[in-house]
């Protein structure tokens, strides 16, 4: 039974292993089973003053099992007023009824939708968007003192649109936002058009590559644009910043283009069409990544390079986490371990401070902390614990030491290329490591011993030498 329910078809799903049960063990939220969303078209009308959002979400789907009913994730703060469906290839699809409960939009069809049907849903909804409360804090759409931002990892996307909010379900996106002047709207992807009418402006963006729902973002504020790259740069780099922070932002992000160049050399081509940073007027506890875009608070932009490591960290997520997405949340170290290691690599190239120095410092810090965490499965409360980040980075460093620099970076570029714009699991990295080890004569047993010690044992292994 489960084998049929969770059968994986290459054109429908990106992950290589079946869904592990009917509920996400990390988020505690039931999976939305039986279908795949291929694209979202979000047409949003937002009033900044009253924090009022009206939306029309058009979803293109296909299903991998017969669907008498289905669910989507959506915050109860947003009320659905109408849902219509359209089938294709002569297959009629009609929504008989819908209701909202338990953070889900629940649809029942007049007749079951036959397997392998392509169909669309148009969902009209409205409300006062607010963050979703979770064990990781309040996530999703957040009203600012002067605008709004979206930071959704891992469960905040339903705070602003109906979606299948699980990391391995990537889809295409078009996002249209109409809002009040003089506010700027920064969204993932490429700006296709900007049209003003009276006191409001319509911004239309298209995301050029598949994206996980938690990486979709909308940033609204009274910003000015700074170009951080040269006019002929392969990857345009820009910043959206409050006018008062213009000079300090230019100083803080002066090395942003150089960072892209260094990481492109180490990891392979930058995976998206452009890169943007947004600096909010509000202070933020930590910077945040989205696909093709990173968000910083005004407290991170002092012009003194105090947060340089985090600028490198967020940029590296464009490779590790955004292009190479996660299949499931227990593998979060694949995102954060590589992003943390990228910080050390940046300083290796910019300040001649070898990653071994950074690794040793953080290893000594880890030794003084409780050793009760499994990197391969840290649990939901510890998935963003600093020990996951640093132990993940040390695992990457241990692999580098084992393989040697030439083989390690060749392996890394192969791994990045193989998983581009899809999802990866530890088995994908391990496969590339084993292949690299064979090329340079490192015994397979050495790889497996290292892998087990760092990922599957709680005790901190010896420092890599």
Pairing of strands 237-241, 275-279: parallel
Sheet with 288-290, strands from edge to edge, namely: 224-227, 237-241, 275-279, 293-296, 288-290
Is the residue at 93 inside a domain? yes
Whether the pLDDT of residue 57 is over 50: the answer is yes
Angle in degrees, CA 294, 295, 299, rounded to 5: 135
Do 149 and 23 share a structural domain? yes
Which residue in this structure is represented by tokens 């345009």?
Answer: 236
Percent of the chain with pLDDT over 90: 93
Q: Which two tokens stand for residue 153?
A: 């990892």
Q: Of the residues 315, 349, 381, which one is the last residue of a structural domain?
A: 315
Is the residue at 447 inside a domain? yes
Percent of the chain with pLDDT over 70: 96
Tens of pLDDT, residue by residue over 451-464, are: 999 999 999 999 99
Do 269 and 233 share a structural domain? yes
Q: Of the residues 315, 333, 349, which one is the last residue of a structural domain?
A: 315
| Helix (H) / strand (E) containing 429 | helix 426-440
Do 393 and 280 share a structural domain? no
Do 255 and 182 share a structural domain? no
Tens of pLDDT, residue by residue over 165-178, are: 999 999 999 999 99
> What per-residue confidence (pLDDT) applies to 20?
58
Is the residue at 461 inside a domain? no
Are 198 and 64 in contact by the 8 Å Cβ rule? The answer is no
389 is a catalytic site residue:
yes
Is the residue at 463 inside a domain? no
Q: Of the residues 191, 220, 249, which one is the last residue of a structural domain?
A: 220
Whether the pLDDT of residue 5 is over 50: the answer is no
> What per-residue confidence (pLDDT) applies to 338?
98
Beta strands of 232-306 (E only): which ranges?
237-241, 275-279, 288-290, 293-296
Average pLDDT over residues 179-202: 98
> What per-residue confidence (pLDDT) applies to 212?
98
Is the residue at 460 inside a domain? no
Do 334 and 299 share a structural domain? no
Which of 12-21, 26-35, 129-138, 204-213 shows the lowest per-residue confidence on average (mean pLDDT)?
12-21
Q: Which two tokens stand for residue 417?
A: 């290329």
Q: Catalytic one among 142, 169, 314, 425?
A: 314
Is the residue at 465 inside a domain? no
Is the residue at 124 inside a domain? yes
pLDDT band at 6 (very low <50, low <70, confident <90, very high): very low
Are 188 and 211 in contact by the 8 Å Cβ rule? The answer is yes
Whether the pLDDT of residue 16 is over 70: the answer is no
- Going by C-alpha positions, the residue among 28, 29, 35, 27 that lies closest to residue 11 is 35
Tens of pLDDT, residue by residue over 366-406, are: 999 999 999 999 999 999 999 999 999 999 999 999 999 99
- What is the total count of domains within the chain? 3
Do 232 and 213 share a structural domain? no
Which CATH number belongs to the domain containing residue 160 in this structure? Answer: 2.60.40.1730
Which CATH number belongs to the domain containing residue 368 in this structure? Answer: 1.10.390.10
Are 207 and 322 in contact by the 8 Å Cβ rule? The answer is no
Rounded CA-CA distance 308/449 in Å is: 35
> What per-residue confidence (pLDDT) applies to 127?
98
Which residue in this structure is represented by tokens 């593998």?
Answer: 331
Do 22 and 94 share a structural domain? yes
> Is residue 452 a known part of a binding site?
no
**What global pTM score does this model have?**
0.95
Whether the pLDDT of residue 39 is over 60: the answer is yes
Q: Which two tokens stand for residue 83?
A: 């849902």
SS3 state of residue 80: strand
> Is residue 313 a known part of a binding site?
yes
- Going by C-alpha positions, the residue among 74, 79, 80, 56 that lies closest to residue 175 is 56
> What per-residue confidence (pLDDT) applies to 302?
87
Which CATH number belongs to the domain containing residue 263 in this structure? Answer: 3.30.2010.30
pLDDT band at 18 (very low <50, low <70, confident <90, very high): low
Cα separations (Å) of 228 from 225, 249, 301, 302, 429? 9, 10, 15, 17, 33
Q: Catalytic one among 389, 415, 425, 432?
A: 389
169 is a catalytic site residue:
no
At 295, give phi and psi (nearest 5°). Answer: -120, 130
Tens of pLDDT, residue by residue over 206-245, are: 999 999 999 999 999 999 999 999 998 999 999 999 999 9
Do 284 and 191 share a structural domain? no
> What per-residue confidence (pLDDT) applies to 303?
83
Do 105 and 28 share a structural domain? yes
> Is residue 336 a known part of a binding site?
yes
Average pLDDT over residues 312-328: 97
> What per-residue confidence (pLDDT) applies to 11?
32
Whether the pLDDT of residue 2 is over 80: the answer is no
Angle in degrees, CA 243, 244, 246, rounded to 5: 65
Do 258 and 191 share a structural domain? no
Sheet with 132-134, strands from edge to edge, namely: 132-134, 137-144, 147-151, 218-221, 184-187
SS3 state of residue 396: helix
Which of 17-26, 59-68, 312-321, 348-357 shows the lowest per-residue confidence on average (mean pLDDT)?
17-26
First to last CA, the chain: 49
Residue 270 belongs to domain spanning: 223-315
> What is the CB neighbour count within 10 angstroms for residue 426?
16
Q: Which two tokens stand for residue 291?
A: 């696909």
Is the residue at 462 inside a domain? no
Tens of pLDDT, residue by residue over 286-305, are: 999 999 999 999 999 988 88
Do 393 and 380 share a structural domain? yes
SS3 state of residue 415: helix
Pairing of strands 35-47, 171-180: parallel
Which residue in this structure is represented by tokens 């005004």?
Answer: 298
Per-residue exposure over 18-31, b if at least 16 CB sit within 10 Å of its own CB, e if not: ebeeeebebbebeb
> What per-residue confidence (pLDDT) applies to 35?
95
Do 229 and 174 share a structural domain? no
Tens of pLDDT, residue by residue over 354-365, are: 999 999 999 999
């Amino acid at each position: 039974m489960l084998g049929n329910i969770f059968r994986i078809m290459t054109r429908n799903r990106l992950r290589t292993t079946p869904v592990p049960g009917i509920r996400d063990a990390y988020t505690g939220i039931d999976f939305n089973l039986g279908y795949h969303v291929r694209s979202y078209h979000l047409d949003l009308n937002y009033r900044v003053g009253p924090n009022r959002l009206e939306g029309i979400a058009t979803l293109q789907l296909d299903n991998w099992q017969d669907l008498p009913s289905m669910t989507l994730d959506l915050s109860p703060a947003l009320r659905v007023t109408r849902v219509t469906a359209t089938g294709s290839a002569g297959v009629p699809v009609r929504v008989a009824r819908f209701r909202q409960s338990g953070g889900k939009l629940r649809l029942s069809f007049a007749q079951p939708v036959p397997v392998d049907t392509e169909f669309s849903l148009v969902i009209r909804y409205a409300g006062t968007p607010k963050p979703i409360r979770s064990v990781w804090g309040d996530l999703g759409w957040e009203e600012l003192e002067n605008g709004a931002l979206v930071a959704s990892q891992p469960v905040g996307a339903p705070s602003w649109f109906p979606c299948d909010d699980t990391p391995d379900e990537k889809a295409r996106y078009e996002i249209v936002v109409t809002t009040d002047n003089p506010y700027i709207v920064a969204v993932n992807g490429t700006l296709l058009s900007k049209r003003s009418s009276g006191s409001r402006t319509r911004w239309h963006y298209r995301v050029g590559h598949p994206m996980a729902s938690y990486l979709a973002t909308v940033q609204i504020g009274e910003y000015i644009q700074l170009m951080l790259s040269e006019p002929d740069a392969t990857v345009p780099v820009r910043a959206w910043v409050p006018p008062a922070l213009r000079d300090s932002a230019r100083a803080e992000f002066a090395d942003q283009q150089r960072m892209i160049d260094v990481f492109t050399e180490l990891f392979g081509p930058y995976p998206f069409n452009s890169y943007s940073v947004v600096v909010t007027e509000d202070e933020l506890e930590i910077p945040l990544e989205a696909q093709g875009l990173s968000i910083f608070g005004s407290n991170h932009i002092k012009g003194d390079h105090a947060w340089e490591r985090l600028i490198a960290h967020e940029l590296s997520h464009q490779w590790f986490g955004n292009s190479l997405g996660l299949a499931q949340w227990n593998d979060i170290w694949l995102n954060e371990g590589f992003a943390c290691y990228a910080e050390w690599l940046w300083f290796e190239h910019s300040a001649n401070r070898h990653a071994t120095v950074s690794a040793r410092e953080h290893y000594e810090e880890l030794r003084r902390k409780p050793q009760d965490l499994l990197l391969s499965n840290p649990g939901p409360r510890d998935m963003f614990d600093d020990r996951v980040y640093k132990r993940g980075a040390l695992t990457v460093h241990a692999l580098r030491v084992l393989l040697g620099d030439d083989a390690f970076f060749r392996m890394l570029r192969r791994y990045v290329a193989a998983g581009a714009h899809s999802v990866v699991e530890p088995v994908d990295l391990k496969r590339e490591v084993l292949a690299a080890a064979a090329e340079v004569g490192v015994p397979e047993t050495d790889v497996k011993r290292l892998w087990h010690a760092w990922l599957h044992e709680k005790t901190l292994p010896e420092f890599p030498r």
